[in-house]
Structure 1
């Protein structure tokens, strides 16, 4: 019997997950399909039960449902529980289990460039994406983490969860040249937003600068960083690697992630800036 999977969110029409997972199913000779399902917040509970009733084998969860889905699930893995957010649901024997693959997907993407876990790393932002990434970096052995955010209290709270350092935005701007790696996790740079998350006056050549935004492929931060001689990485790798972890949980197979990064990059109309 053919299996099927889905991604739920609001909005959802823009999602590239169906393109990615359908390609991987074909590549892996798996008789399955993957569809987008638009669920508004008021429809989430009924939609979840409907998915179960009609036999979904698993699904991804995107905004704004990553936290709201939790009460309906039968179990959470440790990462999803720590994050208080779910982006992947596995169905097994009629039960639903939630996982969060976002942070680990980002860490995998970061290793496309030479990064040193013992060198200082700055995370800009303290929202849901930052939380997943900071915890994943901590688990991966990055020992010198610093968090900065416009709302300093939120940066303090996140840093305290993993024993990281914390800085105000102005402190981070002044000390930007001391960081080996800088990770931008906010929505700054999306669409037509041409602003920067902080001043990069003191950014040094050779610094690894990562932005989790993947559309546009080259955000204003990445453009400035590239012009300054930094090594840059966009959000395509994170998107693909987090999807691959979900794919493995559903099928037990590891898909071709490098080919998919190239394919998604071309689909978005550009060349991969990761170098």
Structure 2
């Protein structure tokens, strides 16, 4: 009997590596094996013009759900039935759940980061600085604000994009929100509790690249997080550690995104340690 394809992935081919080496595929497949699930997680390249057909096909074939990556996170909304509350605020979807033929869009980016962040600190009442204003920044800013952060400061070179994230936070959460244009190295304010690199700076192969931060403004005890999973221990985190910061790598965010997705699709809790181990094997961590 062939394996029934219940829990599947719809991606855009954002990873340049073969499917066998795709870190997300390796992570989720490892979780399925450990859970004894008769299911597969596969990688599909879908051109933007074909997205609607792909979503209709997933529904017709009874896929339990799928992930989607850039450039489909916003466009996919036109082809699904409903948005979860935070996905509606963020305006982007990376995880879709098939509930009896009805497709529900979720955004697990910010939720995955928040779950990882809570292993080192609770954002409630904290002052958070987010570097960058892309999709990861939007999701993280919204979710940390919804979790009770006192303030969100978005630092970015492009003022329009930075202000858009701030307006989103201000309109939908009780957190104070501020935009700071990035011109020179950013001096981290003394009241900051959590500093997050939500940019792609430092991602392989640019492993020695650093965000424009004045590292002398970091202090012992400041929580410094990076969303980049490859390499897990980025130059940003290594430099922050030399100033006494508590650091959080991007693997935790990626693992928790996967955990949330599997929970939504299968109604069961996967083993996060197995999933992290699979990622570490791919990245050689």
* Partner Cα separation in structure 1 for residue 107 and residue 268 of structure 2: 18
- Is residue 2:202 matched to residue 1:189? yes
Residue aligning to 1:121: 128
* Partner Cα separation in structure 2 for residue 116 and residue 127 of structure 1: 21
Residue aligning to 2:223: 208
Structure 2 residue matching 1:165: 3-state secondary structure: strand
Residue aligning to 1:145: 152
Residue aligning to 1:2: 4
> How many equivalent residue pairs?
270
The one-character-per-residue Cα deviations of 1:128-168 (angstroms, maximum 9, x if unpaired) are 11111111001111112211111123222322322312223
Seen in structure 2, the aligned counterparts of structure 1 residues 116 and 130 have a Cα distance that, compared at 3 Å, is closer
* Structure 2 counterparts to residues 2-151 of structure 1, below 5 A: 2-4=4-6, 5-12=8-15, 14=17, 15-115=22-122, 117-151=124-158
Deviation at 1:50, TM superposition (A): 2.6
Higher normalized contact order (CA 8 Å, seq sep 6+, divided by chain length):
2
* Partner Cα separation in structure 1 for residue 138 and residue 261 of structure 2: 19
Quick check: 1:2–1:31 contact (8 Å CA) kept in 2?
A: yes
* Partner Cα separation in structure 2 for residue 106 and residue 12 of structure 1: 20
* Partner Cα separation in structure 2 for residue 26 and residue 262 of structure 1: 13
With normalisation by structure 1, the TM-score equals 0.90
Deviation at 1:243, TM superposition (A): 1.2
Deviation at 1:112, TM superposition (A): 1.9
* Partner Cα separation in structure 1 for residue 29 and residue 13 of structure 2: 21
The one-character-per-residue Cα deviations of 1:64-84 (angstroms, maximum 9, x if unpaired) are 211111111122112221111
Moved more, 133-142 or 46-55: 46-55
Residue aligning to 2:174: none
Q: Which runs of 5+ in 1 are unaligned?
A: 271-275
Q: Which runs of 5+ in 2 are unaligned?
A: 171-176
Q: Which runs of 4+ in 1 moved over 4 A?
A: none
With normalisation by structure 2, the TM-score equals 0.87
Deviation at 1:115, TM superposition (A): 4.5
Seen in structure 2, the aligned counterparts of structure 1 residues 195 and 26 have a Cα distance that, compared at 3 Å, is closer
Seen in structure 2, the aligned counterparts of structure 1 residues 192 and 8 have a Cα distance that, compared at 3 Å, is closer
* Partner Cα separation in structure 1 for residue 169 and residue 58 of structure 2: 36
Residue aligning to 2:253: 238
Moved more, 253-262 or 184-193: 253-262
Residue aligning to 2:282: 267
Deviation at 1:13, TM superposition (A): 5.5
* Partner Cα separation in structure 2 for residue 112 and residue 203 of structure 1: 21
